[in-house]
Structure 1
Amino acid sequence: MNAFSAKFKIYRLYLLSGLLFSACASNAPLGANQNKAVPEQKDKSTINQIAKADIDRMTDVEIRENTQSLRLLMLKLYKRNPQELKKSTSVPAEKMIDWVFDGGAQHHFQFAEMNNLVMTDAIFLTFNPEYKGDRVLAFIVGLHTMLLKAHNDKTDFYFTDSIDPQRVYNVARNIEIAVWKLSNARDENGALYLLSNEINNQEKNLSFEREFGKMIGRTELYAIALAEKSQRLISRVVQNLATALFLPF
């Protein structure tokens, strides 16, 4: 296992422990110092919530928080790679991101400039030396559509829904592989296709790694909780990220 893989494993264990600790800390007395509010569903109507089991509410939170992470990561990638945004539009990055994530009912994540590729095909396109389009768009759309697919292309869940924990677990592993490619894949001139983390004598920016780590931790924890709830086994896969293949989902 290379250093990058080992670092992700350690970070994921730290994150999972942190999530469990946070769950316990949520029972702190009123008046305790709690700066961040617990995420709330927009639709809190009794009729809506009565059709949801606890695991469904957990699914709602997991997909919503991962989507928020992807929005943030897309913005950060555009800030680090402004030439990619110019390939798609002249509007500010925030408007582009709103169009991508809020316009799914219109574009269905089918973009002609990406040959309508989604999921892992879109991620591969990001690192294709012959691709001249917006690599940030391809990377984020690939991750988002992969996440949606594992959740049966839904973002709102009820007790009638059935999600396969293995598919969700595999997505967590695939995010790891995609992030490794983001940090290591280079063009023929030795330059990274997309800039993300920055470590040098003047600057140390690991915010990308931290946000991706949150996504991996959330997705894996949800897959484990879902497996426990449904009494299904998860086949855990250990791969060398440098040579790993994307898992089916």
Structure 2
Amino acid sequence: MIQKRTLYYSLAFLCILSLTGCSTPAGDRPFYIKNLAKSDIDLVADAHIDEINRLSRELTIKLYQRNPRELAKAPAGTSIDDRLALIFNTPRIINHPELFYRYGIDSFPLVFDPNFTGDRVFALMIGISGMFHAAYNYQDQFFLFDSLDQQKLYNSARNLEIIIWRLSHLKLPSGEPFLLTNGVSDDGIFNLSFERLFGKMIAHQDMMARIISDKTNRTVNKAFFSLATTALFPI
């Protein structure tokens, strides 16, 4: 990985030697040397990763605000900021003893296990963020010789649809939902903020899958499936 990254920056350095100047006009976006080693698709992928991470962080905060009992299950003194750091800091931590060292889609069964006594929000967001992390080859940035798999991107969007269905329909033995998401407030206003966030994430993954499919001229296998019965797709 280090040799590969060194090659990228060497390429960028050789490119910049051929330039007579790289000043940034007032009001334009800043110029980064590393971007010389990126194609347009790489820059688009970087932007999608940044937005997916931003939406995932927003979702994590909203889930803890809606389900404060889950944060209380975390080790004493754990704050929402602590959880955000564990989930999103770079480099990513993918081994979490609280979740029996599960990551990505392997974490989802814990969310819907009545016998799981840990933090379900943490399990859910390690599942969602880890699934997207895997769909982008566990990378935070892309360069000229990197590639993406359109099927993984597409599958991650379908998996999120399945998880949303489970959050809405699966219940604890007591009849309560495993996690509270959308609902009606005390003043009768229906809260759809979670649905909007999930929808944006699905749209980003579908768009990125289409971009990569068009670039590689490879089709996406769009299999018909049932939200209620289909197992999660591999990433």
> Scaled by the length of structure 2, what TM-score is found?
0.83
Q: What is the Cα deviation at residue 202 of structure 1?
A: 1.5
Q: What is the Cα deviation at residue 237 of structure 1?
A: 2.0
81-90 or 129-138, which moves further after superposition? 81-90
Q: Residue 172 of structure 1 aligns with which residue?
A: 157
Residues 1:224 and 2:217 are matched in the alignment: no
Residue 248 of structure 1 aligns to a residue whose secondary structure is coil
Residues 1:198 and 2:183 are matched in the alignment: yes
How many residues align? The count is 206
Pick aligned residue for 1:82 from 56, 61, 68: 68
The 5 A counterparts of 1:227-242 are 227-242=213-228
- The question of whether the paired residues in 1 share the 8 Å contact of 2:87 and 2:93 is answered with no
The 5 A counterparts of 1:202-213 are 202-213=188-199
Deviation by residue 1:30-59 (Cα, 9 ceiling, x = unmatched): xxxxxxxxxx7xx841x2111111111111
Residue 237 of structure 1 aligns to a residue whose secondary structure is coil
Residue 87 of structure 1 aligns to a residue whose secondary structure is coil
Deviation by residue 1:83-132 (Cα, 9 ceiling, x = unmatched): 11111143432343134311x53x72211011011122201111111100
Where relative contact order (Cα < 8 A, 6+ residues apart) is larger, the structure is: 1
> Which stretches of structure 1, 4 residues or more, deviate above 6 A after TM superposition?
none
Which structure 1 residue ranges, 5 or more long, are not aligned?
1-39
* Structure number, greater radius of gyration: 2
Letter in 1 for 2:192: L
Distance 1:44 1:95 in 2: 33
The 5 A counterparts of 1:90-109 are 90-102=77-89, 104-105=90-91, 108-109=93-94
Q: Residue 55 of structure 1 aligns with which residue?
A: 41
RMSD: 1.8
Deviation by residue 1:219-239 (Cα, 9 ceiling, x = unmatched): 001100110011111111221
Q: What is the Cα deviation at residue 148 of structure 1?
A: 0.9
Distance 1:237 1:204 in 2: 33
Residue 240 of structure 1 aligns to a residue whose secondary structure is coil
Q: Residue 142 of structure 1 aligns with which residue?
A: 127
User: Identity over the aligned pairs, expressed in percent?
Assistant: 35
Letter in 1 for 2:80: A
Letter in 1 for 2:40: D
Letter in 2 for 1:96: R
Distance 1:194 1:245 in 2: 20
Distance 2:184 2:227 in 1: 21
Residues 1:126 and 2:116 are matched in the alignment: no
Distance 1:164 1:211 in 2: 24
Residues 1:117 and 2:96 are matched in the alignment: no
Q: 1:113 to 1:91 in 2, by over 3 A?
A: closer
Which structure 2 residue ranges, 5 or more long, are not aligned?
1-28
> Scaled by the length of structure 1, what TM-score is found?
0.78
